[in-house]
């Protein structure tokens, strides 16, 4: 395990026009994160389409295994050595619909984490996942969560019991949920003695206007840095192994 891991949380205001323009903007933002030394870049929930479930009535808004539209993301990961977590509606090989975090590795492989705690109309569109996906990067174990997963303490606790050093949440928190955001991310970190990371969708959405505040919390539950506004912004932090050792 390396002594430090540099992570960028991208607060992202999704573009109109479907998956392809959003892939291109993801590539640009990964290049930005590379300039800050990031090894891992985390995007929000449904970052490749935006949180507009009405769009999912058309198949073009869903990603599939080996989807060629991800080609440029694969290439930027290969070129930079960065691992990217992007949010998408995803159909498994057997057709199962998932609200997913797609983990794109530099070697061209993809892992998929699925939202476990669906809510509202999501329950009619997606099948729920079973648990947080844990990915390994430079010896660090990063657990992936999607939005309301972070509201259920057992989700992060199970990840911590599985060895997670950080809990990365891809989400949409609106202005009305600003107070919940701070409680969720701080508590998940403090209760489990791990870092927490938030990549929040930015801008206006059908659920309301984003409250922003993408960023990082330490294993003591205290903020380590957050986005200044509510639009697209790259927030980067260096997660230190010494901080984990202090609280474990």
Q: Where does the pLDDT of residue 117 fall: very low under 50, low under 70, confident under 90, or very high at 90 and above?
A: very high
Beta bridge partners of 6: 238
Asked whether 16 and 220 are in contact (CB, 8 A), the reply is no
Q: Tell me, what's the pLDDT at 8?
A: 99
Tokens at 101, concatenated: 């975090």
Residue 245: which residues within 8 A CB-CB, separation 6 or more? none
Alpha helices per DSSP H over 120-174: 122-125, 153-161
Bin 138: left if φ > 0, else alpha if -120 < ψ < 50, else beta: left
Which pLDDT value is given to residue 82? 98
pLDDT given at position 40? 99
Band (pLDDT 50/70/90 cuts) for residue 108 is very high
Average pLDDT over residues 114-119: 97
pLDDT for the residue numbered 96: 98
Q: Which tens digit of pLDDT belongs to each residue from 143-185?
A: 999 999 999 999 999 999 999 999 999 999 999 999 999 999 9
User: Smallest Cα–Cα separation from 29: which of 246, 231, 248?
Assistant: 231
| Whole-number pLDDT of residue 138 | 98
Q: What's the confidence (pLDDT) of residue 15?
A: 97
* 144 and 116 Cβ atoms separated by less than 8 Å: no
Q: Where are the domains of the chain?
A: 4-247
Partnered with residue 112 across adjacent β-strands are: 102
Cα separation, 138 vs 98, whole angstroms: 28
- What's residue 176's pLDDT? 96
DSSP single-letter state for residue 163: T
**Arithmetic mean of pLDDT, 207-219:** 97
Residues 6+ apart with CB under 8 A from 215: 9, 197, 198, 223, 224, 225, 226, 227, 235, 237
Confidence of residue 101 (pLDDT cuts 50, 70, 90): very high
Q: 109 — phi, psi (to 5°)?
A: -80, 155
Average of per-residue pLDDT values in the chain: 97
For domain 4-247, which CATH number applies: 3.30.365.10, 1.10.3720.10, 3.40.50.150, 3.60.110.10? Answer: 3.60.110.10
Note the pLDDT tens digit of each residue in 57-93: 999 999 999 999 999 999 999 999 999 999 999 999 9
């Amino acid at each position: 395990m390396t002594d430090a891991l540099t992570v960028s949380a991208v607060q992202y205001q999704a573009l109109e026009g479907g998956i392809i323009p959003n892939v291109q903007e993801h590539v640009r933002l990964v290049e930005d994160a590379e300039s800050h030394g990031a090894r891992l870049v985390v995007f929000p929930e449904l970052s490749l389409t935006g949180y507009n479930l009405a769009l999912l009535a058309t198949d073009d808004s869903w990603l599939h295994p080996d989807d060629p539209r991800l080609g440029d993301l694969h290439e930027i990961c290969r070129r930079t050595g960065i691992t990217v977590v992007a949010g998408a509606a995803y159909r498994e090989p057997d057709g199962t619909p998932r609200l997913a975090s797609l983990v794109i590795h530099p070697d061209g492989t993809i892992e998929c984490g699925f939202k476990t705690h669906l809510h509202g109309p999501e329950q009619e569109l997606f099948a729920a996942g079973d648990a947080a996906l844990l990915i390994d990067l430079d010896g660090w174990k990063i657990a992936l969560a999607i939005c309301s997963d972070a509201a259920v303490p057992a989700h992060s606790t199970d990840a911590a019991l599985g060895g997670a050093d950080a809990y990365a949440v891809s989400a949409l928190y609106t202005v009305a949920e600003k107070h919940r955001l701070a409680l969720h991310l701080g508590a998940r970190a403090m209760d489990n003695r791990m870092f927490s990371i938030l990549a929040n969708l930015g801008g206006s959405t059908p659920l309301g206007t984003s409250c922003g505040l993408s960023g990082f919390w330490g294993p003591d539950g205290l903020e380590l840095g957050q986005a200044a506004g509510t639009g697209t912004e790259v927030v980067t932090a260096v997660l230190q192994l010494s901080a984990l050792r202090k609280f474990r």
